[in-house]
Amino acid sequence: MKTFIEQLINGLSLGSIYALIALGYTMVYGIMKLINFAHGDIYMVGAFTGFFASTYLHLGFVPSLLLAMLVSLILGVTIERVAYRPLRDKSKISILITAIGVSLLLENGGIILLSPQVRTYPQIFKQHMYSFFNGIITISNQQIVIFVVSIIMMVGLQLIIYKTKIGKAMRAVSTDPDAAKLMGVNVDRTVSFTFAIGSALAAVAGVLVGIYYNSIDPLMGIMPGLKAFIAAVLGGIGIIPGAMVGGLLMGVIEALVSGYGSSLYRDGVSFAILIIILLIKPTGLFGKNVREKV
Amino acid sequence: MKQILKNRLLIFIGLFAIYGIIQILLSTNILNDYYEINIVLMGINIILAVSLNLINGFTGQFSLGHAGFMSIGAYTSAIITYKLGLSFPLALLVGGISAGIAGILIGIPSLRLKGDYLAITTLGFGEIIRVIFLNTEYVGGASGLSGIPKYTNWTWVFWMAVITVVLIRNFINSSYGRCCVAIREDETAAESMGINTTFYKTLAFTIGAFFAGIGGALYAHNFYIIQPETFNFMKSFDILTMVVLGGLGSITGSILSAIFLTFVYAVLQDYAALRMVIYSLLLIIVMLFRPEGLMGTREFSLKKLFKKGDESSEFTVN
């Protein structure tokens, strides 16, 4: 029971991070029907910015987080402008190949610029364990930070999407880009904004992972990126609450697999989930069926 | 008819000439072991690129799992020669067939999906295959199999590459191949013309997987050692770069870009990250400025080069 709860809490912390990355995937997919393969690498850039901000600039947690968000945001918007926008009305395959190219570029550019070595993240929060109910539930302060920050981000995102004008534009473009354009929505600006928000959330996830696992490297974005994508598909891609639930589920499943089975099978299980969900219910847990029209 | 026969004969003589010249250069040691390894690698990459082009370029089903099929061929063939001590041709055949069977098993469920979903599912299957090998003690787990006998040489690679290209080209020019191209152009239209799209997609996928398995078998018997890590999705991206650069839907394009990129690989062997930066920039630039790849769907032919005779009677799609 104790290990179960422990793994559950570990899973929820990891899951919140997946959920933050998955939100970026799902928003970009909702608006452009594109799997932004480079999203995991934007998360890596966010983690490194946070690392440099707190190690060399000696900034505190919140300023480093904000700086990481800003750098990733600029990167995300630039990538969209340079690599994706010119291809928006070309075939889907060419934009997918470009996304793979951007992802490889960021990973290997990162290796060249930052060296492939693993770096130790500074301990912004000294680890401290809290236990409740006679030690049945133990939770570290880092995990609390992860939960609090993720919840703030998700609530903030909901407010942006449902209470602001640009949020309305995002919803309009994701429902029907052509109709939205006819109604006077600036599609280019909305897409840029979506990339900005998604990238900023990925940066938050990057900084949180750095704090939680204490180590970062230029290839750290590959697996979490793929898993967050799986989380987005699991919840129903394009659906924001789906990405949150999918992310948490993925984190918990993964923690339980490594806790009770073998951690070597962890990646295999994640991909098995993806394949099962795509074969049984491709629209995801929260998705509705859409009929294909000719 | 006579013209075609004459062309075939010329191609055959040309192939023998290429084979003979390189064989002489290798056996007289003018080209040393370093060159031999890279020339063999070129041949293997041609097999991989052309077979992936059948799936991605001609049938339009975007697969990112080619390294997975390659690893099945590599491991099965290594088990046959190294563990069971049987002959190399048998190992090649069984390696290809087992990868082909995996292609059927993976293809039937995943080819119901389209575009980016299919891409990520095949990537997932490729990773699952890798995780399975990683956790199988019989084939050495994470440290892999080492001490595989070296059977792959220029002769094997060259003729296997020729067989692969000829068979895939003939497949594409057959009525089966035309169905595949029809599916690429418009799946809904193809289906309403009475084409059994699932069958043809799975067929192309299986043939592609079969040759990827052969490529993997040749690879395993060239490098003495295979590890699950060798066949991760980066390998699939490598092959994808060759196909995209050469042109989705051009066999000669794939051959030329496989040769070119293997050359780049050999030159930048010690700078893996730089090589991948170049690959990724190639992918992005090709997509932005020439999305159909260097050759598009056209084929390179000597006849067109010398402007002899009329337009090639070969089947091309525009």
CA–CA min distance B144, chain A (Å)? 15
Per-residue pLDDT of A195-237, as tens digits, reads 999 999 999 999 999 888 888 888 888 888 888 988 998 888 8
Confidence grade of residue B101 (pLDDT, cut at 50, 70, 90): very high
Query: What letter represents residue B230's amino acid?
Result: T
Q: What is the DSSP letter of A121?
A: P
CA–CA min distance B233, chain A (Å)? 10
Q: Which of A90, A108, A267 sits opposite B127 (nearest CB)?
A: A267
CB atoms within 10 A of CB A247: 33
The pLDDT value recorded for residue A131 is 78
Average pLDDT over residues B48-77: 93
Domain residue spans of chain A:
2-18+27-124+135-220
Does position A278 have pLDDT exceeding 90, yes or no?
no
The residue length of chain A stands at 294
Q: What is the DSSP letter of A286?
A: T
CA–CA min distance A227, chain B (Å)? 10
ipTM, 2 decimals? 0.82
The pLDDT value recorded for residue A122 is 81
Give the C-alpha separation, B206 to A140, whole Å: 50
Residue A140 β-bridge partners = A129
Contact list, A277 vs chain B (CB under 8 Å): none
| Closest residue, chain A, to B280 (C-alpha) | A101
CA–CA min distance B33, chain A (Å)? 29
The answer to whether the CB atoms of A87 and B131 lie below 8 A apart is no
Which has the higher per-residue pLDDT, B121 or B67? B67
The answer to whether the CB atoms of A275 and B135 lie below 8 A apart is no
The pLDDT value recorded for residue B305 is 60
Q: Which of A220, A273, A236 is nearest to A251 (CA)?
A: A273
Interface of chain A against chain B, CB under 8 Å? 34-35, 83, 86-87, 90-98, 100-105, 107-109, 111-112, 116, 226, 229-230, 233, 262, 264-265, 267-268, 271-272, 274-275, 278-279, 282, 292, 294
User: Helix axis angle, B115-134 relative to A222-235, nearest 10°?
Assistant: 120
Q: What percent of chain A has pLDDT over 90?
A: 36
Tokens of residue A133, six digits? 């109910």
Per-residue pLDDT of A261-275, as tens digits, reads 777 777 788 888 888
Which has the higher per-residue pLDDT, A290 or B82? B82
The pLDDT value recorded for residue B256 is 92
Q: Which of A24, A125, A5 is nearest to A75 (CA)?
A: A24
State the number of CA atoms in the 13 A half-sphere of B314 facing the CB: 20
Confidence grade of residue B66 (pLDDT, cut at 50, 70, 90): very high
Helix (H, G, I), strand (E, B) or coil at B226: strand
Per-residue pLDDT of B200-251, as tens digits, reads 999 999 999 999 999 999 999 998 889 998 898 888 988 998 998 888 889 9
Phi, psi angles (nearest 5°) of residue B181: -65, -40
The answer to whether the CB atoms of A101 and B135 lie below 8 A apart is no
Give the C-alpha separation, A247 to A21, whole Å: 8
Per-residue pLDDT of A148-177, as tens digits, reads 999 999 999 999 999 999 999 999 998 888
Contact list, A105 vs chain B (CB under 8 Å): 277, 280-281, 284
